Structure 1
Amino acid sequence: MADTSFHIGPYQIAPRVILAPMAGVTDKPFRVLSKRLGAGLCVSEMTTSDPRFWNTAKSRHRMDHDGEPAPISVQIAGTVPEVMADAARYNVDHGAQIIDINMGCPAKKVCNAWAGSALMRDEALVARILDAVVNAVDVPVTLKIRTGWAADQRNALAIAKVAQSAGIAALAVHGRTRDQQYTGTAEYDTIAEVKAALSIPVFANGDVDSPQKAAEVLARTGCDAVLIGRAAQGRPWIFREIAHYLASGELLPEPTVQEVRDVLIGHLHHLHEFYGEVSGVRIARKHLGWYAKDRPENQAFRAVVNRAETAQAQLHLTGEYFDALIAGVTPELPAAA
């Protein structure tokens, strides 16, 4: 049986399933929930390396790690080595125990600033950024990349070797190139090639959406862990499902409707408390939509919940909806909230 854990610096990570950083999704309430439901590590949504934005409400929320389970991994993005080094120091001073560098984000907003996966076009600059950040902090530094910039420019292996030489503690590879964005299907051969060439932990990312797929990707790539991104939206229990399957070869039963209700109500409370009522209600809407997406009443439920303007209304409507499902009756969805 393969090892069920690995280390990033001094931190033992188990199980071998990690919440991937997603802007606007992997905030503190979602990270805490994912960790509780079985994720071995949760990486924060991307924080800017530009100090002008560190005191905005958005950045303060993104840098709030009070009471978060260790190890706390914070992702930074940027293009200037010295600025990235300062950002790493700032985040470590504010609770980060692992610094993750984003060279995997395909977003135009990020890439047009030459950050994210655009950096993979300039291997010399990558080396300077990694050296600057690794030397700036006393905590492990990890890196997230894609397989390359474009289909005919798959340079993940070259970047990976640069990263290991620079002292990067672990590497995550998304099995798509920058120009694919999130389209097509992830390929794992490049990730396997990277894993075979390195001695540091390597994580596979892309299209892992079930326990069976996680096991298949780990077997195919030889990687130390899988990253779960979009498949965790509305299904945070996927972490324990994957962990259980990797450990036992058996599938856990789906969570009961009662448990989904309890998880969701708890998540709503945490969002309202963390962001305040107005922002919390707004941010919760997308999570409610993801939770409901597999249910037949999904559209009606979303239409109603999206009209809830207060925390109390949002909690009440959600509770009533799930209580009806638990009772085995079709939820009575009011015309307006």
Structure 2
Amino acid sequence: MIGRCSTGASSRHSFISRLLADQCQAWVKRGRSAVFTVHCATLAESSLHAGTPLTTEPSTSESTAALVDASENKGVASLTDEQLHRNAELLEMLRGKLILAPLTKGGNLPFRRLCADFGAEVTMSEMSFARHLLRGDPTEKARLKRSANEACFGFQIATNNIGEGVRAGALAAEAGASWMDLNCGCPIYEATKRGLGSALLRNPRKLARLVAGIAEGIDLPLTVKVRLGTSASKINVQQVVSLLQDAGAAAVIVHGRTAEQRYKKPADWTLMADVARSNEVPVVGNGDILTYYEAQQRLNDSGCLAHMVGRGALIKPWIFQEVKEGRELNLDATERLGIYRQLVSHMKEHFGDDSKGRRKAFYFLPWHFDFLCRYRHLPEEVYRASSEERPLIGQRMETAASELGEELDSLPVLERLLRCQSTDAHAEIAAALWDSSSDAEAKSVLEQLGNGKLADWESNNDDREERVAEG
């Protein structure tokens, strides 16, 4: 491999040699060679040109231009007609849809497949750390996979580097993703300590330059998922979305809370509506949707292109069918048990129906019951008024709803068990579903389990913070 800068020491891009060396080494490791003639702008100039390799041509994702730091563009993307056409096609696919949010841990392929079984037309991967993905990390690579019934699939990455973003975009396109999303909302420390996720909101102009560089360099539409700001005193979503409008984002997904708030405050749909109406770039609203009537109200009142659901889908994966049909399904315990076994079946198919597959699946399966146990019948005539005052997902739901005339002791044991919040109960429910060969067998085993242990589990229920990370 050969790399040279024609301007030598006077180059204002003196760092480019290191970037080229790193990239060429990656190509050589894959048995490829490359020869570069690079003209870097001098201190009096402002252009950067990459020569054509003499052998195998690098993909767009490996172009030298994409390796330039985000500070080297103005945050304004110049998209090709083809890129603009892809953006328009994506927007038509998203319009009016209820989108499954990118959910850390919850957004595993079997769960997304279950949501698609119930009518989810647009789904998103778990957040993938682009740097780890590009190093070949098997966990990150697995997040590129989509199930056959995921019609429109978005791949979400976390990065603060244009080169990483562009190369990740090439992998996403190769894997068949419909679009790529840049996470700028994840509040977890693992992301923010690296300057990723919601940490990117601290410098909106730098974020715009990052987005512009990635958007120009990939063959997929790019969306950006943000929060209102990092904290209540630093709400800057209007500025962020305004800048992303020129940076080439096909759409901006707005989670209606600050990073600091996590899930402690209701999502601010009033502010999201203001953002949607104040900017030309389409906005997708995200936060506090648990029922079809809340979904309808949010979409109708906000002016958003579409809306997104996270915890609501974890609680009832059939919410997509409810929204499509405009009615509550009101599933009893036996019917829900069948759906939960459907999730188990998808996990067996994906991870394997053996001891190794079970170990992999049980990283997810008991965890899912921390949300599935929160399902309650929420008829519109009883709950719509209170949902307008405070989102239902933020209201404490007792095991038995007195407003529906329920009493704990009168509930069937299976219903009580499936509503139980004990993590010990969740582990045993997961094991029973995995080991059962039919719905009837699973029901019998769980009823015996409930009769023997439910009273102790219910007495030991404790309050726990949300354990889902949604950017």
Contact conserved, 2:95 with 2:306, CA < 8 A, in 1? no
Matched residue type, 2:443: D
Shift of residue 307, structure 1, vs aligned partner: 4.7
Matched residue, 1:248: none
Tell me how far apart the structure 2 counterparts of residues 218 and 61 of structure 1 sit (CA, whole Å): 33
Q: Distance in 2 between the 1:190 and 1:133 partners?
A: 28
Equivalent position to 1:272, from 348, 372, 377: 348
Contact 1:37-1:240 within 8 A present in 2 as well: yes
Q: Is the 8 Å Cα contact of residues 265 and 315 (structure 1) preserved in structure 2?
A: no
Match of 1:263 among 334, 339, 342: 339
Work out the CA distance in 2 between the residues paired with 1:227 and 1:238: 11
Match of 1:33?
Answer: 114
Which of 105, 122, 128 aligns to 1:47? It is 128
SS in 2 for 1:152: helix
- Aligned residue for 2:164? 83
Confirm or deny: 8 A CA contact 2:96 2:305 kept in the other structure: no
The 1-side partners of 2:358 and 2:200 are apart by: 38
Gaps of 5+ in 1: 1-6, 246-250
Paired residue secondary structure (1:148): coil
TM-score, length basis structure 1: 0.85
- Report if the CA contact (8 A) 2:96-2:307 is conserved: no
Question: Does structure 1 conserve the Cα–Cα contact (< 8 Å) formed by 2:113 and 2:346?
Answer: no
* Superposition CA RMSD, Å: 2.8
CA distance in 1: counterparts of 2:313 and 2:123, whole angstroms? 12
Given residue 261 of structure 1, which amino acid in structure 2 is its aligned partner? L
Q: CA deviation at 1:321?
A: 7.2
**1:130 & 1:212 partners in 2: Cα distance?**
35
Give per-residue Cα distances to partners, 1:205-262, cap 9 Å, x unaligned. 11122122222222332112211111111310111112222xxxxx233134444233
Q: Is 2:244 aligned against 1:244?
A: no
| Counterpart selection for 1:130 from 211, 221, 224 | 211
**Percentage of pairs with the same residue:** 25
Give the whole-Å Cα distance in 2 for the aligned partners of 1:266 and 1:14: 29
Deviation of 1:168 after TM superposition, in Å, equals: 0.9
Report the CA distance shift for 1:309/1:147 in structure 2 as closer, same or farther (over 3 A). Answer: closer
* Residue 9 (structure 1) aligns with: 88
- Report the 3-state secondary structure (helix = DSSP H, G, I; strand = E; otherwise coil) of the residue aligned with 1:133: helix
Alpha-carbon separation, structure 2, partners of 1:309 and 1:266:
12
1:90-130 Cα deviation digits (max 9, x unpaired): 22222222001101111111111111111011112211211
Contact 2:104 2:126 in 1 (8 A): yes
Match of 2:393 in 1: none
Q: Which residue of 2 aligns with 1:314?
A: 434
Per residue, is there more strand in 1 or in 2?
A: 1
Q: Whole-Å Cα distance in 2 between the matches of residues 50 and 197 of structure 1?
A: 35
Instruction: Please say if residues 433 and 442 of structure 2, whose CA atoms lie closer than 8 Å, have aligned partners that are also in contact.
Output: no
Task: Give distance in 2, aligned partners of 1:99 and 1:20.
Answer: 13
CA distance in 2, matches of 1:52, 1:253: 39
Residue 159 in 1 paired to residue 240 in 2? yes
Alpha carbons 2:311, 2:371 under 8 Å: kept: no
For residues 292 and 322 of structure 1, do their structure 2 counterparts lie closer, same or farther at Cα, with a shift above 3 Å needed? Answer: farther
> In the alignment, residue 303 of structure 1 is paired with which amino acid?
D
Measure the CA separation in 1 of the matches of 2:433 and 2:304.
Answer: 45
TM-score by length of 2: 0.62
Give the Å deviation of 1:266: 1.7
Once residues 330 and 209 of structure 2 are traced to their aligned partners in structure 1, the CA distance between those partners, rounded to angstroms, is 47
CA deviation after TM superposition for structure 1 residue 45, in Å: 0.7
Distance 1:303 1:78, change over 3 A: same
Whether the 8 Å contact between 2:185 and 2:255 is mirrored in structure 1 is yes
User: Which residue matches 1:253?
Assistant: 329
User: In 2, Cα distance between the equivalents of 1:300 and 1:176?
Assistant: 26
**1:332 paired to 2:411:** no
